[in-house]
Structure 1
Amino acid sequence: MQEKDIRNLKLDSICVQGGYQPKNGEPRIAPIVQSTTYKYDNADTVGNLFDLKESGYFYTRLANPTLGYLEEKVAQLEGGIAAVATSSGQAATLLSILTICSNGDHIISMNNLYGGTHTLLGSTIGRFGISTSFVNLNDIDEIRAAVRDNTKLIFAETIGNPAVGVLDIEKVANVAHEYGLPLIVDNTLASPVLCRPIDFGADIVTHSSTKYLDGHATSVGGIIVDSGKFDWTGGRFDCLTEPDPNYHGLSYTKSFGNLSYTTRARAVFMRDFGPIMSPFNGFLTNLGIETLALRMERHSKNALAIAQYLEGHDKVEWIRYPGLKSSEDKDLADKYLKNGASGVIAFGVKGGIEKTKKWIDSLKLISLVVHVADVRSHALHPASMTHRQLSEEDLLKAGIKPNMVRLSVGIENVEDIINDIDQAFKNI
């Protein structure tokens, strides 16, 4: 099938059929190209590859055929024009920002982020001269007040990790575009099966593919997807419009048009930093995506049933799950998460931190691991684990209370999961 035909398929079909399209006599399953380098017959071809005058593979630190199949599939799923696979979700977030930001620049971010991303934006990249203003989720007045002359982007998560607040993508995208800024959305906890942020105005989408895309906790990786819709020539992005001396004065926007963002991400930052996904991890992630639609349906169905159970439990102080009728984000979930609200629940155990930890320690089927969003059910205490580097003030701003449990609901039988939750409650 041609790419245009693939893109006309439903998302669950693209999960299976997208990306790799074998020719006559070729392997039906996307192969692992476990090679660092590639043979050519003449010097000019290799020179043209280095100068970005021709496309192709010449060194796996920049690109690899196995990763190319994965990138194409995820781009098709998200409705983008191109993608770049990275060594981790953190690498995807970092490269998505550095592609258009440098020393002296400023970004705006929602405050309900994964702990590692919060530290990356709030501390680490600050040491490289890029400052971040954190604003409350979906607060348009705060976003407007935070915009500066040197602001380069707005960053957010479709479903916040771990407090599961839902981003009003369209509203935030509209205010971003009003100021000539791109909106970058981390779509990890929703996946393109449940939400495609580009359809609602997002310009760049990132994933920790380690989570639902892989789905089996085998492969660390990340993905950056470019919508191809943002106009980079509006005046804020000279790194894309002005000549790059490292490529003989080439202008990315003039030479590559709507592919200028992903071209620079690969040709500059993948080249110089080298955070490429391994071909084997690309193979496993591609394999995982084949069942993504099936898994997300089951994750969402199980999570809703468990959220309803927890909502009425006398040892649960509070609960957040976008799919609940009582959720403050129910209207946003109805708009952006029509196919399910994903598999992550946040709730508070009555009795404080010690009771919360005892509940987690009492689980048997549900495991305590530093992970989220795979086929198995997991529970974690964010305040003392994934987000322990945040101050008490920052924890509360991110919606993380001391007694919060992040419950990642797997695809096991829902009765077995509930029985495990129930026996752990009886122990406290």
Structure 2
Amino acid sequence: MSYAILNAAEGGRVIAAGQIYGGTYDAYKRLFPTLGINVDVVDDVNDLDAVSRLIKEDTKAIFIETISNPLTVIADIEALADLAHANGLPLIVDNSLATPYLLDPIKHGADVVVYSATKALSGHGSVIGGLVVDAGKFNWSGSRHTHFKREILLFENKSFLETFPQFPFAARLRLTQVALLGAALSPFNAYLILQGIETLSERVKKQSESAWKIAEFLNEHPQVLWVSHPNLPDSKYKQLAAKYLPKGTGGIFSFGFNGDAAARNKFINALKLFSYHANLGDARSLIINSPRTTHAELTEEEQLRAGVLPETLRLSIGLESPDDLIADLLQAFAAV
């Protein structure tokens, strides 16, 4: 994600979703401004008028998650792509939660897609890695992206656009951000990711089905305040989920625990099958209290703005039997 934004938005601004992974939000505040990139946060990524109002002369990209972490907000990719392209901007999307099995954002207009390969692509919580996919369709020769026209001595004073006309974005990222900043993937990690991808469809299919069954169970439980799953009847993202994610919405969703901090901790500690771990997309089922972990970098005001309420618990459903996982949740509720 960082390399994609650094590559697209050098010396400019990015419009970015506010309901997003906490580490990404932290990068908005503490990393990108120190590197000459300012981030304009939009609270509702599907509010096209709000997004439009943030477009400035030096805006260089729009960045979203296709399914947000942890509240599973579904972005209207086609509408955002149309808006971005009408203003000479690329749409960069993080598709880590959906994975390529459930959703291909490029088919809906995305220009650059990023993945945390640590998550479902590898699938076992044993790898640190990431991927950047260049659709090869965006015109980087526009007035907003003059850094792609800069002459490079290595290329005999030709630009990335001239040297790599079919994929200037991918080439510049590989030969600038990766080459000069590092973070090259190790061969063994690459091997583990490739091994994981071989079973991606089977894992994500089961995880999606199990997550839906567990979400339905939690939605009726008296110790649950709310459930954020896009397939529930009262979800504002139900239609977008049907449009973009007909095969399922993945294994991650959140719910609000009805109790104070001590009761939440007691509930988490009582679980036997769920592991307390900040990863997601794992073969094992995981639980985390997002305000204290994945979004701990945010102030209370920023957490509320992002919709991450104090009672939020995020589940990442693994490959165990959903009935066993429901039984585990039941006994943990009873222990509080």
TM-score bucket of the superposed structures, by smaller chain: over 0.9
Task: Kindly tell me the number of residue pairs found equivalent between the two proteins.
Answer: 335
Paired with 1:245 and 1:112, the residues of 2 have a C-alpha distance of 41
Gaps of 5+ in 1: 1-92
Q: Contact 2:141 / 2:149 at 8 angstroms: preserved in 1?
A: yes
- Residues 1:119 and 2:29 aligned together: no
Match of 1:231 among 139, 148, 152: 139
Q: Which deviations, in whole Å up to 9, do the C-alpha atoms of 1:375-415 show, x marking residues without a partner?
A: 11000001011111101111011110000000111110111
Identity percentage of aligned residues: 39
Paired with 2:42 and 2:139, the residues of 1 have a C-alpha distance of 25
- Residues 1:132 and 2:13 aligned together: no
Q: Rg bigger for which structure?
A: 1
Q: Secondary structure at the match of 2:279?
A: coil
Q: Contact 1:163 / 1:398 at 8 angstroms: preserved in 2?
A: no
Amino acid corresponding to residue 22 of structure 2 in structure 1: G
Amino acid corresponding to residue 230 of structure 2 in structure 1: P
Residue aligning to 2:212: 304
Amino acid corresponding to residue 28 of structure 2 in structure 1: L
Q: Secondary structure at the match of 2:144?
A: coil
Q: Contact 1:110 / 1:138 at 8 angstroms: preserved in 2?
A: no
Residue aligning to 1:94: 2
Q: Contact 1:108 / 1:146 at 8 angstroms: preserved in 2?
A: yes
Paired with 2:38 and 2:211, the residues of 1 have a C-alpha distance of 37
Residue aligning to 1:275: 183
Q: Secondary structure at the match of 1:189?
A: coil
Q: Contact 1:377 / 1:407 at 8 angstroms: preserved in 2?
A: yes
Q: Contact 1:115 / 1:387 at 8 angstroms: preserved in 2?
A: yes
Q: Contact 1:226 / 1:262 at 8 angstroms: preserved in 2?
A: yes
| C-alpha deviation, 1:100, in angstroms | 2.3
Paired with 1:359 and 1:165, the residues of 2 have a C-alpha distance of 26
Paired with 1:266 and 1:259, the residues of 2 have a C-alpha distance of 11
TM-score calculated relative to the size of structure 1: 0.77
| C-alpha deviation, 1:293, in angstroms | 0.4
Q: In angstroms, what is the RMSD of aligned CA positions?
A: 1.1
Gaps of 5+ in 2: none
Paired with 1:354 and 1:194, the residues of 2 have a C-alpha distance of 37
Paired with 1:300 and 1:224, the residues of 2 have a C-alpha distance of 24
- Residues 1:207 and 2:120 aligned together: no
| C-alpha deviation, 1:246, in angstroms | 4.7
Paired with 1:308 and 1:197, the residues of 2 have a C-alpha distance of 27
Residue aligning to 2:161: 253
Residue aligning to 1:389: 297
Paired with 2:199 and 2:167, the residues of 1 have a C-alpha distance of 29
Paired with 1:101 and 1:185, the residues of 2 have a C-alpha distance of 14
1:27-176 equivalent positions in 2, closer than 5 A: 93-103=1-11, 105-136=12-43, 137-176=45-84
Paired with 1:427 and 1:181, the residues of 2 have a C-alpha distance of 52
| C-alpha deviation, 1:269, in angstroms | 1.4
Paired with 1:170 and 1:415, the residues of 2 have a C-alpha distance of 37
Q: Secondary structure at the match of 2:93?
A: strand
- Residues 1:262 and 2:170 aligned together: yes
Q: Contact 2:10 / 2:147 at 8 angstroms: preserved in 1?
A: no
- Residues 1:407 and 2:329 aligned together: no
- Residues 1:313 and 2:221 aligned together: yes
Paired with 1:342 and 1:129, the residues of 2 have a C-alpha distance of 35
Paired with 2:231 and 2:204, the residues of 1 have a C-alpha distance of 14
Amino acid corresponding to residue 111 of structure 1 in structure 2: G
